[in-house]
């Protein structure tokens, strides 16, 4: 089992917003009512000292990012929730550790109980993790469209032209992209697949003829280099997908339900805040990064992904909702690609009740002053 990523020093943010200061310590709405059906919900009861003590008794809660401190959905909200003291307001002690892009390695750590939360790139990776005996469950899915895209040179006009060529990926080819290639009639086995890291300049240098990436990341980098490329999107080939999935250990979640709920509550509130205050939230991530941080690029990452979340979330659903019908379609791509022998029972692997517990309709239920 790989060792957890080292914890970097965590300097406090320079400019804290007054959100936490507006909260009454220990108060948390746990139910709502209305004086009139047309009125907005009002607080009917609050968290008591027992819930606060229960959360605190869980001890240090370790969250491992998917990739360093990049401002991706299900990463930036966690970093911002810490910077805004939202976890503290809910009596949670959260430690953020930077991951290195090894999604399955992170899932293994969560399964083993070494860490408690980690994002996955999509719901398919939750299925793949469990196939490898890494017991994790998805508790929130923010994006309901594939975040992965395939980049090629402009000379590629049909994906079948990649046969016999070299395709670079970060750790494995994402399931939506493999499904796209299959849908396009490509003999995937004829493509040489290599682990290529996170430098997209290898594509214009022709070190690879195709490169997997995230539509919020590599295209922005290539644009900044003034390089020409073609971006291929899975949904254009009828492939469904997801992104921004928060995962946890199912046994640990059962033992600590209020912790899971309130972790999701804090990041949901942070998501709302960062939607309107992206530059501030990206700065929290920059404050944690010791190796240099491209603030301008990361703001583009955040804005691209949170816009995709908004566009793919129905008006009557909260951010992070789980749609098992879409999950089944995404899982079917793994069957079609041979990545799974059988589609497992999905309900035990995706648990929406924690997210549902922190929303009234689409609104985050948050601490209020009495």
Look at residue 302 and tell me if it is in a domain. yes
Boundary-marking domain end, from 237, 254, 278: 237
Look at residue 289 and tell me if it is in a domain. yes
Are 139 and 269 within one domain?
yes
Look at residue 70 and tell me if it is in a domain. yes
DSSP-assigned letters across all residues of 189-201? GGSEEEE-TT-GG
Residue of 236, 235, 246 whose CA lies nearest to 106: 246
pLDDT tens per residue across span 186-212:
999 999 999 998 899 999 999 999 999
Are 200 and 100 within one domain?
no
State the pTM of this model: 0.82
Number of domains in the chain: 2
Are 246 and 160 within one domain?
no
Look at residue 64 and tell me if it is in a domain. yes
Are 164 and 70 within one domain?
no
Boundary-marking domain end, from 214, 237, 260: 237
Domain at 216, CATH number: 3.40.190.10
Residue of 353, 363, 290 whose CA lies nearest to 322: 353
Are 26 and 136 within one domain?
yes
Are 46 and 62 within one domain?
yes
Which residue carries 């790139």 as its tokens? Answer: 121
Are 136 and 177 within one domain?
no
Look at residue 36 and tell me if it is in a domain. yes
C-alpha angle 80-82-84 in degrees, rounded to nearest 5: 65
Look at residue 294 and tell me if it is in a domain. yes
Look at residue 3 and tell me if it is in a domain. no
pLDDT tens per residue across span 31-43:
333 333 233 233 3
Look at residue 5 and tell me if it is in a domain. no
Are 29 and 104 within one domain?
yes
Would the pLDDT of 227 be above 70? yes
Are 139 and 267 within one domain?
yes
Are 250 and 204 within one domain?
no
Boundary-marking domain end, from 198, 214, 237: 237
**Dihedral over alpha carbons 172, 178, 180, 186 (to 10 degrees):** 130
Are 51 and 62 within one domain?
yes
Residue 369: burial class (beta carbons within 10 Å; 0-12, 13-18, 19+) = exposed
Would the pLDDT of 78 be above 50? yes
pLDDT tens per residue across span 50-67:
999 999 999 999 999 999
C-alpha angle 43-46-47 in degrees, rounded to nearest 5: 150
Task: State the residue range of the domain holding 295.
Answer: 20-145+242-364
**Alpha helix ranges (H) inside the chain:** 49-57, 76-83, 86-89, 103-112, 123-131, 175-183, 218-224, 250-255, 257-276, 278-288, 295-312, 324-337, 353-356
Confidence of residue 369 (pLDDT cuts 50, 70, 90): low
**Contact in structure between 171 and 177 (CB atoms under 8 Å):** no
Are 116 and 255 within one domain?
yes
Q: How many helices (H) and strands (E) does the chain have?
A: 13, 14
- Rounded distance between C-alpha atoms, residue 268 and residue 247, angstroms: 15
Q: Between the CA of residue 184 and those of 107, 178, 240, 345, what are the distances in Å? A: 31, 10, 15, 29
- Rounded distance between C-alpha atoms, residue 291 and residue 295, angstroms: 13
């Amino acid at each position: 089992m790989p060792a957890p990523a080292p914890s970097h020093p965590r300097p406090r943010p320079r400019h804290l917003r007054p959100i936490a200061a507006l909260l009454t310590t220990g108060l948390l709405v746990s139910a709502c009512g209305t004086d009139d059906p047309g009125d907005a919900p009002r607080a009917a009861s609050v968290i008591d000292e027992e819930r606060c003590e229960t959360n605190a008794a869980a001890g240090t809660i370790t969250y491992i990012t998917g990739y360093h401190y990049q401002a991706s959905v299900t990463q930036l909200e966690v970093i911002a929730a810490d910077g805004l003291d939202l976890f503290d307001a809910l009596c949670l002690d959260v430690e953020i550790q930077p991951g290195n892009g090894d999604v399955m390695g992170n899932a293994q750590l969560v399964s083993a109980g070494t860490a408690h939360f980690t994002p996955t790139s999509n719901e398919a990776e939750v299925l793949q993790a469990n196939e490898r005996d890494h017991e994790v469950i998805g508790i929130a899915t923010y994006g309901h469209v594939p975040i992965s895209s395939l980049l090629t040179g402009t000379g590629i006009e049909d994906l079948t032209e990649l046969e016999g060529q070299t395709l670079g990926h970060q750790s494995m080819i994402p399931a939506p992209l493999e499904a796209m290639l299959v849908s396009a009639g490509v003999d995937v086995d004829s493509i040489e697949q290599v682990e290529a890291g996170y430098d997209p300049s290898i594509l214009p240098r022709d070190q690879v003829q195709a490169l997997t990436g995230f539509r919020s990341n590599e295209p922005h980098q290539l644009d900044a280099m003034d390089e020409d490329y073609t971006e291929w999107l899975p949904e254009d080939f009828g492939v469904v997908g997801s992104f921004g999935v928060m995962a946890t250990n199912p046994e640990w979640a059962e033992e600590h339900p209020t912790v899971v709920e309130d972790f999701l509550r804090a990041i949901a509130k942070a998501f709302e805040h960062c939607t309107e205050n992206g530059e501030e939230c990206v700065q929290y991530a920059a404050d944690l990064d010791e190796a240099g941080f491209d603030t301008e690029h990361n703001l583009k990452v955040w804005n691209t992904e949170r816009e995709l979340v908004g566009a793919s979330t129905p008006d009557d659903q909260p951010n992070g909702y789980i749609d098992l019908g879409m999950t089944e379609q995404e899982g079917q791509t793994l069957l079609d690609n041979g990545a799974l022998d059988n589609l497992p029972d999905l309900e035990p692997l995706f648990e929406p009740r924690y997210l549902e517990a922190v929303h009234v309709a689409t609104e985050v239920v948050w601490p209020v002053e009495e």
